[in-house]
């Protein structure tokens, strides 16, 4: 009989009887004393069953019957445990305090399993590091409320600060999905004040309260069309196509990058690289183009080319 099957029999046996002698266990499971010893060690160390031996009654007892795992067949190899630890560590690095405390019991259990293999979790997690650039401080309370409302499909009353206008407005939103983009969190939501689908930066939400009303439900197709067809976080339905030409030097990097799922790339004879993709809002796109400096030229459309040129000339005035 496989050891996994025996685990269920052990559980059933201890459930029927408060205390079981070794002889009774050996007889019912039809196993040897050596096999019982190995099973006992495995169940304690691997499956977390708290089986104790009562020397006065000469019996074995299961102390944590309710806490014992119901799926002992779910076993991880050393590589799988390392992968899970890596993911858990990256989540903690992604947003400290967000999911770390909730995953702590699992991390401790995996640490015990790895320790039994002679591996130290502390030294392993030090080998994984997440570097943040341009990360904004996030109000954990608001994020958790938005995450809860998004999953439970509830409306939320928010106080949203518009950085461009320097104004705070109160509004009710129906969150559709949370988005982690460039080290920051955003929520795509139906705005009941503007009656349209908008994108809000979570760190710009100063206060939020979950309402008892059900959220307005939008199809994933509609969300993709409005929020994901264009370039970058601003999204929006794309009405323009950007055409950028990168120098041969920068082409070595840009060729391996995805700027948009529908992008088109062409390598030119001189080694330069022409990239085309749709966009709707050019604010983020302008910043991305300008960071390449002299290594990129906007070939079209004319409005984008003109705005990039204007931004470059205004920047140059600071150095005259």
- pLDDT less than 70: residues of the chain: 1-5, 64-82, 84-85, 87-107, 110, 113-114, 116-119, 121, 124-125, 128, 130, 139-140, 235
Please write the tens of the pLDDT for every residue from 113-156. Answer: 667 666 676 776 677 676 777 777 776 678 888 988 998 999 99
Report how far apart, in Å, the C-alpha atoms of 100 and of each of 95, 201, 238 are.
8, 22, 38
Domains of the chain: 3-62 (1.10.10), 78-125 (no CATH), 140-225 (2.30.30), 240-317 (no CATH)
- In order of 186, 211, 316, the CA distances from 232 in angstroms are 12, 30, 26
Report yes or no: 238 and 230 within 8 Å, Cβ to Cβ: yes
In the prediction, which pLDDT does 77 show? 61
- The secondary structure element, H or E, covering residue 180 is strand 167-181
The per-residue pLDDT for 117 is: 62
Identify the sign of the CA torsion 261, 264, 269, 271.
negative
Measure Cα distances from 15 to 8, 55, 57, 110, 299 in Å: 10, 20, 18, 27, 75
Give residue 73's pLDDT: 47
Cα(192)–Cα(197) distance, integer angstroms:
9
Query: What token pair was written down for 236?
Result: 């929006």
């Amino acid at each position: 009989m496989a050891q996994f099957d025996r685990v269920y029999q052990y559980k059933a046996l201890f459930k029927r009887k408060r205390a079981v002698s070794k002889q009774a266990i050996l007889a019912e499971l039809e196993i040897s004393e050596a096999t019982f010893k190995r099973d006992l060690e495995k169940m304690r160390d691997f499956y977390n069953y708290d089986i104790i031996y009562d020397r006065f009654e000469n019996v074995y007892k299961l102390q944590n019957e309710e806490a014992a795992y119901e799926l002992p067949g779910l076993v991880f190899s050393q590589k799988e445990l390392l992968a899970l630890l890596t993911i858990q560590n990256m989540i903690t690095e992604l947003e400290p305090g967000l999911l770390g405390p909730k995953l702590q019991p699992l991390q401790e259990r995996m640490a015990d399993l790895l320790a039994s293999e002679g591996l130290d979790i502390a030294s392993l997690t030090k080998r994984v590091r997440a570097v943040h650039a341009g990360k904004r401080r996030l109000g954990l309370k608001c994020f958790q409320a938005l995450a809860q409302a998004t999953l439970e499909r509830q409306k939320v009353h928010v106080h949203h600060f518009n950085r461009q206008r320097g104004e705070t407005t109160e509004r009710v939103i129906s969150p559709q999905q949370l988005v982690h983009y460039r080290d920051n969190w955003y929520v795509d939501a139906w705005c009941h004040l503007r009656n349209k689908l908008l994108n809000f930066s979570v760190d710009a939400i100063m206060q939020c309260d979950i309402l008892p009303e059900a959220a307005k439900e939008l199809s994933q197709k509609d969300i993709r069309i409005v929020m994901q067809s264009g370039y970058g976080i601003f999204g929006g339905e794309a009405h323009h196509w950007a055409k950028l030409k990168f120098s041969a030097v920068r082409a070595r990097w840009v060729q391996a990058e995805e700027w948009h799922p529908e992008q088109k790339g062409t390598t030119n004879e001189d080694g330069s690289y022409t990239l085309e993709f749709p966009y709707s809002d050019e604010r983020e796109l302008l910043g991305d183009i300008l960071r390449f400096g002299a290594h990129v030229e906007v070939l079209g459309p004319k409005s984008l080319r003109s705005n990039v040129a204007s931004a470059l000339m205004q920047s140059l005035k600071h150095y005259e």
